[in-house]
Amino acid sequence: MTRLRRIFVMPAAILMLVTIAVPAGIIGVYSVLSRGAYGGVELPWTLENYGRLIDPLYGGIFVRSFALAAAATALCVALGFPLALFIARAGARKNLYLSLVILPFWTSFLIRLYAWMFLLRDTGLINTVLQSLGVIREPLPLLYNDGAVLLGLVYGFLPFAVLPIYATLERLDKSLLEAAADLGARPIAVLTRVTVPLCAPGIAAAAILVFVPSLGTYITSDLLGGSKTILIGNLVQNQFTTARDWPFGAAVSIVLMMVAVALMFAVRRRGEELL
């Protein structure tokens, strides 16, 4: 039986090795090589690509990306928790409400971002309606700024926050909540001092699931942020395309990956069961 299991797990293990470990290794090797004249990489080996990251220009990009990802994470958790609570308490309609959270995933993220562009741009629905109602004269600058990127991130990743929080809420021991109420805690106190702390694993998992993809995003900032909003993801993309500096792009990717892995380990103990 053990042998059969070993054979069964092989295809998945090989696939993960070939599609995750090998590319990550290639990126690692690229990051310590020199830049080729027309893209690609050349000898000699160097650590200069990592040294360049100390440049305040890139430091600024990292800080901005972290700030945006942190804001998106905080918003997703704060907005997602009450919704998860609502679904967990919904009784028979639980599955319907859960499906409604997942339903947006059935449409391409790209199209969902275009939907927001349709709403937010200068000639978009919101500005058109506000102008025809006479509320505003000039269109509001809703698109192509950090706020729009934040909106896109929250919109795209909110379901990732709701699902793990819901999973912990759903299997919460109800008798603990009843005990708190019996001992005189008001509903708000039960929520903040019993439910939320017991939900810590779910909240930690939610935070990771939102923060990591937010930190590396490039399509959201590309479409909603315009040219001003350069984030780490865009930096990497530029190095491999227009800038033709593959080693530097690889070094940035490696740093990004290490941050993600470090975060995973940091919250592993709390969110372990869910990640």
Partner 1 sequence: MKRGLAAYAIGIYGFLHLPLLILAIFSVNASRFTAWQGFSLHWYQAMFADRDLLESAGNSLAIAVASTALSTVIGTLAAYALWKRASNWLAGRRSSPECRCSRCFSGRFAMSTFVWECTR
List of residues contacting partner 1 (CB under 8 A): 4-6, 8-9, 11-13, 15-16, 79, 82-83, 85-87, 89, 97-108, 110-112, 114-116, 118-119, 123-125, 128, 155, 158-159, 163-164, 167, 170-171, 187, 272-275
Question: Quick one: 41 or 117, whose CB is closer to partner 1?
Answer: 117
Nearest CB to partner 1, comparing residues 27 and 84: 84
Question: For residues 38 and 106, which CB has a smaller minimum distance to partner 1 in the complex?
Answer: 106
Look at residues 181, 166, 156, 158 and name the one whose alpha carbon lies nearest to residue 86. 166
**Taking the complex as a whole, how short is the minimal distance between the CB of residue 273 and partner 1, in angstroms?**
6
**In angstroms, what is the minimal distance from the CB of 232 to partner 1?**
21
CB of 139 vs partner 1, minimal distance in Å? 11
**Nearest to partner 1 of 62, 155 (CB atom):** 155
- Other beta carbons within 10 angstroms of residue 40's beta carbon come to 12
- Closest distance between partner 1 and the C-beta of residue 200, in Å? 15
> Three-state SS string across the chain, please?
CHHHHHHHHHHHHHHHHHHHHHHHHHHHHHCCCEECECECEECCCCCHHHHHHHCHHHHHHHHHHHHHHHHHHHHHHHHHHHHHHHHHCCHHHHHHHHHHHHHHHHCCHHHHHHHHHHHHCCCCHHHHHHHHCCCCCCCCCCCCCHHHHHHHHHHHHHHHHHHHHHHHHHCCCHHHHHHHHHCCCCHHHHHHHHHHHHCHHHHHHHHHHHHHHHHHCCHHHHHHCCCCCCCHHHHHHHHHCCCCCHHHHHHHHHHHHHHHHHHHHHHHHHHCCCC
Q: Between residues 83 and 254, which has the closer beta carbon with respect to partner 1?
A: 83
Give me the least distance between CB of 133 and partner 1, in Å please: 14
Minimum CB–partner distance for residue 108 and partner 1 (Å): 3
**Which of 185, 255 has the CB closer to partner 1?**
185
